[in-house]
Amino acid sequence: MLLYFGNIIFPWWIWNYAMRLLERGIWGLDTELKCKVSRKKGLFAKQMRKFHLTTTQIIMLSFMIVILIGSVLLALPVSAAGGQAVPYVDALFTATTSVCVTGLVTLTTATAWSTFGQIVILILIQIGGLGVITIISGFMISMHRKMGIGDRMLIQDAFNLNTLSGLTEFTGKVILGTFVIEGIGALLYMTVFVPQFGVRGIWISVFNAISAFCNAGMDIIGENSLCDYATRPVVNIVTSMLIILGGIGYIVWWDVVRVLKNIKAQGVRCFCYLTLHSKIALSVSVLLILAGGVLILIFEYHNPLTLKNLAFFDKLQLAMFQSVSTRTAGFATLPQQNLTNASALLSIFLMFIGGSPVGTAGGVKTVTIAVLLVSAFATIKGQNEVPLFGRNISKHSVSKAAAVVCMSFIILFLSTILLAAVTDAPALDIVYETVSATATVGLSRNLTPFLNIWGKLIIIVTMYLGRVGPISLAVALNRSKTIQNIIKSPTEEISVG
């Protein structure tokens, strides 16, 4: 089925192959007919050049195609638990939240969908977590098909990498590492779910492991996420580790592995040998998790609706889990509508930042925020360079970070205004919902199930834009040429701030 998706995305492969067969005379065509075919091929090539898609547009289109196919499958009666087809808008919403690994749901995943529907949802989550291009590339690698420069550029853009070298090996490692971690997570989950649910616990464990690693936040246990397991350390720890490993970014994995292999030679200062990207991603992630957990513990310590009546250890693990889950995972061990205003605002801040680049997490990313803050302080100090961990960050990275945050704010602002216009709900709940959708988190203050059709459509579009990325959207819509003009406009200073 994934190969079929690939052929939809790259239909010119089939055309080129057919044209090669015709030119070689495999079907016994005479010379005159071959010439006609060649002329038609030339005309077709000219037409195709007019409608040439960039790699960014192909990636965006691939997500849209998978969402539409998934929505059709979920709209079938066989996908519904009761055998009666759900409204198409709910099927489209579920397909979008699965592919965009968000986790906001209008229908409870555990009770609204049949086993077939849950399998479709899980496949969509896995495709969305890894990316359509990554999975198709994995099939190409497994079939020993040579990847051309176009294929490599697609993978580079899909992972937001800065180089074309080693992409085949990188893709293989990502897919293998993903399945290994998800498998280990499923086995650990089974120690809890199999004794409770029997054989069905295996399916629950597999579903939860993939959903947690892909930062999807969807489960098939019940209607209140993981609230029934709020004080179960195994569930909390396994889920948190899967979320962190999925959200930290693939390139950080291999960088840490590289350093650990040489730990004897590097000694206790192994952190110094990490790349600048890994240092930023790890440092900011640890800081946000710990600081977020401590602040939530303080804000909720005496809240009778959340932590007040629990033992200190349970308070600590629930606060830390909330801090981890807001990093675009979407699992909840605390009812979000019961949080204090301070905790809700802090959660919004953590959701907006999200995880790290080149992973399964959403948000504007940890590295983006770090680059912006360091750049701001460097400007305040009057420095021309942006230093961090003994390295200077490039101006291009600073500009891109600013663009990502700016575009994310625009998407968030517009979706918030539109949702407020069609939904009669408290402002905090609306902002919580739109930030969760924009950052592909999945946490909600119990607003999602009560959205009307316009609210659902607004969140669907917001989740899609949040998943493909604000910069990808701007690049995809930009049809202008990138060649610099020989004559540049004059520079003039303006007052800022």
Which residue range is the domain that position 40 belongs to?
Answer: 4-52
Please report where in the chains the tokens 């019940």 appear, as a residue.
Answer: 222
Q: Tell me the pLDDT tens digit for each residue of 114-146.
A: 999 999 999 999 988 876 556 655 555 555 555
What is the residue-averaged pLDDT of the chain? 80
Residue 310, domain member (yes or no): yes
Residue 316, domain member (yes or no): yes
Residue 337, domain member (yes or no): yes
- Give the CA distances from residue 276 to residues 272, 381, 486, in Å, rounded to whole numbers and listed in that order: 9, 22, 35
* pLDDT score recorded for residue 61: 82
* pLDDT score recorded for residue 22: 36
Encoded tokens for 339? 């949080």
| Cα 189 to the center of its chain, rounded Å | 23
Residue 280, domain member (yes or no): yes
Residue 301, domain member (yes or no): yes
Domain count, the chain: 2
Give Cβ neighbours of residue 462 (< 8 Å, ≥ 6 apart).
411, 415, 434, 437, 438
**DSSP 8-state code for residue 441:** -
Q: How far apart are CA 84 and CA 94, in angstroms?
A: 16
The residue type of 161 is: L
Residue 189, domain member (yes or no): no
Start-to-end CA distance of the chain, whole Å, equals: 53
Max avg pLDDT among 16-25, 229-238, 384-393: 229-238
Encoded tokens for 111? 């009770």
* pLDDT score recorded for residue 174: 81
Q: How far apart are CA 192 and CA 9, in angstroms?
A: 41
If DSSP codes are grouped into helix, strand and coil, which group holds residue 276? helix
Residue 306, domain member (yes or no): yes
Give the confidence band of 88 by pLDDT, cuts at 50, 70, 90.
very high
Give the confidence band of 175 by pLDDT, cuts at 50, 70, 90.
confident
pLDDT of 217 over the 70 cut: yes
Residue 220, domain member (yes or no): no
pLDDT of 209 over the 70 cut: yes
* pLDDT score recorded for residue 146: 57
If DSSP codes are grouped into helix, strand and coil, which group holds residue 391? strand
